[in-house]
Homo-oligomer: A and B are copies of this chain.
Amino acid sequence: MSYRFADRTKMFKTSAIREIAGMIQKKGSDVISFAGGNPFEHYFPHEEIKRAFEKVFESGKGSLQYGMTPGFMPLRELISERVKSKGISAKPEEILLTTGSQQAIDLFSRIMLSPNDVVLTENPTFLAAVQAFESYEAKVVGVSGDKDGMDPEDLEKKLKQHQPKFIYVVPTFSNPEGKVWSEERRRALLELAYKYNTLVLEDDPYGDIQFHEEETYTPIAAMDEQKSQVVYTGSFSKTVVPSLRIGWVTGPAPVLAYMSQIKEAADLMSSPLNQQALYYLMTEMDLDAHIRMLTKQYYQHMSVMQDYLKTLDGDLVSWNEPKGGMFLWANVHESINTTELLAKILDHGVAYIPGAPFYVENPQQNTLRLNFTHSSPEKIKIGMERLTAAFLQSLK
């Protein structure tokens, strides 16, 4: 039979990254992959999570029942305290728990976007967010920028031109670029958002993985003193474990009210069991100490990776040292197409993700993203030896 699907399915895209991941997997397990975005399993607080679940089970059978759509209140209270330390004021009732921050992005898109609405994003930007925006038949327009964030001039031009529904940004250790916006650019964005009555979706899954303690990266949501403009989402997938699938979102009350209402239709609620376990984990374990450990370790991972890149000619490869997060973004010589190069590189038993798929327009073919969190430093060494050798050989 011929199926009569919704119009929006025409906008569905297969993730280019998933296709590349499939290509890498086919090559077999010998390949050291810097392509994904997974945290390193070795650092997972395995014992602590096990004990947290024991606590939940000890608390009785009621813990296995349905919960409330917005989530387990004691966990929302803890998150409210955590964001306060970042300068964001959000009462527990103003925290909505989601199935990862991906669901927060999706639910927000669902209440905001009608067909042909515009979303402004960085270029390149996080691909799965673009997938969500486009699935509601929105148009995604890239704003140009540099290492400090979006260019306010180009942003203002595009705000005027497109009257977007919102601006999507990952200002702290972004995916894919791993960059961090300057304070000035953050403020400029917020001022323009006020001026043009446009919401900001600030996605902050990596913010806690900050390599330089002495630096301060104020969330844009913390600058939004009127609490009218910024929807802020975070996740425990990178700092605790991904498999709990716990993210959360806060923002202006009318936005949260709609998001909570539509979450009811979307999946009724995320797992109350996992939310309770995370609550016990956070009360029994020093999560901040764990994050400090993680950050210290990931800095070592990044340094190992970077040291190998430094052996290459600056004309061949250039990058800005990541100040946190999970990714190192590199430019290679403009004569090189990293998508074409990947096939050759794979033959050397190592993989990266070409940068092109992350662009919403004008893809830069000479870019690539390297993940430094998923592999051990030892594996990173081997992988980078292969990568640098393959680079040099491919360019002969």
Contact = CB atoms under 8 A, between A and B. Distances in A.
Contacts of A50: 53-54, 57
A270 B241 contact: no
A343 to B, nearest CB: 24
A80 interface: no
Given A15-B264, A41-B62, 19 more contacts: A1-B228, A4-B197, A6-B113, A12-B261, A14-B261, A44-B61, A49-B64, A64-B243, A64-B244, A66-B242, A102-B266, A103-B268, A128-B264, A243-B271, A243-B272, A243-B273, A245-B272, A266-B266, A271-B274
Contacts of A197: 1-2, 4
Interface in A251-281: 252, 254-255, 258, 261-262, 264-274
A18 B14 CA distance: 38
A64 B41 contact: yes
A199 interface: yes
Contact of A241 (B54, B64, B268): B64
A59 to B, nearest CB: 11
A145 interface: no
B229 A65 contact: no
Contacts of A18: 264
Contacts of A65: 38-39, 41, 44, 241-243
28 contacts: A1-B228, A2-B197, A3-B254, A3-B255, A4-B197, A6-B112, A7-B114, A8-B111, A8-B114, A9-B258, A12-B258, A12-B262, A14-B261, A38-B65, A44-B61, A53-B53, A63-B243, A64-B242, A65-B241, A66-B237, A98-B267, A100-B268, A102-B266, A128-B264, A243-B272, A244-B273, A245-B268, A266-B266
Of the listed residues A12, A46, A267, the one surrounded by the most CB atoms of chain B closer than 10 A to its CB is: A267
A337 interface: no
A6 B243 contact: no
Interface of A: 1-9, 12, 14-15, 18, 38-39, 41-42, 44, 46, 49-50, 53-54, 57, 61-67, 98-100, 102-103, 106, 110-114, 117, 128, 131-132, 135-136, 165, 197, 199, 228-229, 237, 241-245, 252, 254-255, 258, 261-262, 264-274
A261 B5 CA distance: 14
Given A3-B199, A57-B49, A112-B6, A265 B106 contact: yes
Contact of A99 (B8, B46, B99, B102): B99
A272 B241 CA distance: 11
A65 B46 CA distance: 11
Nearest to A102: B268
Contacts of A266: 102-103, 106, 132, 266
Contacts of A41: 61-62, 64-65
A5 B106 contact: no
Nearest to A6: B114
